[in-house]
Structures are given as structure tokens and as C-alpha cells.
Amino acid sequence: QVQLVESGGGLVQAGGSLRLSCAASGRTVSIYVFGWFRQATGKEREFVAAVSRNSRTYYGDFVKGRFTISRDNAKNMVYLQMDSLKPEYTAVYYCAAVNSIMERTTPSEYNYWGQGTQVTVSS
């Protein structure tokens, strides 16, 4: 099993940056694929980014180079650097994990989730 705890959310002005962190605990964390998803009020959970075991990265179509996902297996940490933020990016951001050798981009493919961290981007 893996436990996930997100941090780093908050209020930021449009055009600003935030760095989200996800602390993972459990056995053999390095074998997991990690993903970030977001869910705005009244909308479905949406794929943001994922990082594979060997640090290959994948991004949602809307990201367009604004976000960077990374992982530090030695520290059991996953990060999401978000730059050039827009008000429409306001949402709860979730860290998720799955034991997989392939990247995963849909919520149903992940079986471990954090509690989420709120990101609010003001105009």
C-alpha cells in the first residue's frame, strides 16, 4: 500500500507559480507510476500529468508546457511545478499512484489517492 499527502496549494495571482508536493510512504514506492489530477467544482476529475518509474513524463493537453512533473525516489516525493497559472486552473489537485509499468492517464486506473490540495488562481 501507498499513502499520499499533498501540500503546496494556495492562492496565487494569474501568471504566478506554485509547486505542489506529494509525499509518498509505503513499501517500494519507486515502482509506482504517479499522477496529478485536478477537479474543479462541478466538473469531472481531469488528468494533469504523470511520471513513470523511469521518470518519463506525460501531460494533459491543456498543460502546453506550463507544468513540470518530477519525482525523487530517494525522498519518496513527487512534484508538480505550475507556471503561468490561469484562473481556470482553480481546482483541487490530487496526487495518485498505481503499481504499473505503463503510464496511466485516467482516474480509474489509479488505486491510491491523496486528500487533495486547493489551488486558487485569482484574476
Q: In this predicted model, what pLDDT tens digit does every residue of 10-27 receive, in sequence order?
A: 999 999 999 999 999 987
How does DSSP classify residue 60? -
pLDDT at 111: 92
CB 92 within 8 A of CB 39: yes
pLDDT at 8: 98
The β-bridge relationship of strands 10-13 and 117-122 is parallel
* Separation CA 25–CA 88 (nearest Å): 31
pLDDT tens, 73-108? 999 999 999 999 999 999 999 999 999 888 899 999
Across all residues in the chain, what is the average pLDDT?
A: 94
| Cβ neighbours, 10 Å, residue 18 | 21
- Calculate ∠ Cα 99-65-30, nearest 5°: 20
pLDDT at 26: 83
pLDDT band per the 50, 70, 90 thresholds, residue 29: confident
pLDDT tens, 35-75? 999 999 999 999 999 999 889 999 999 998 999 999 999 99
Task: Give percent of the chain with pLDDT exceeding 70.
Answer: 100
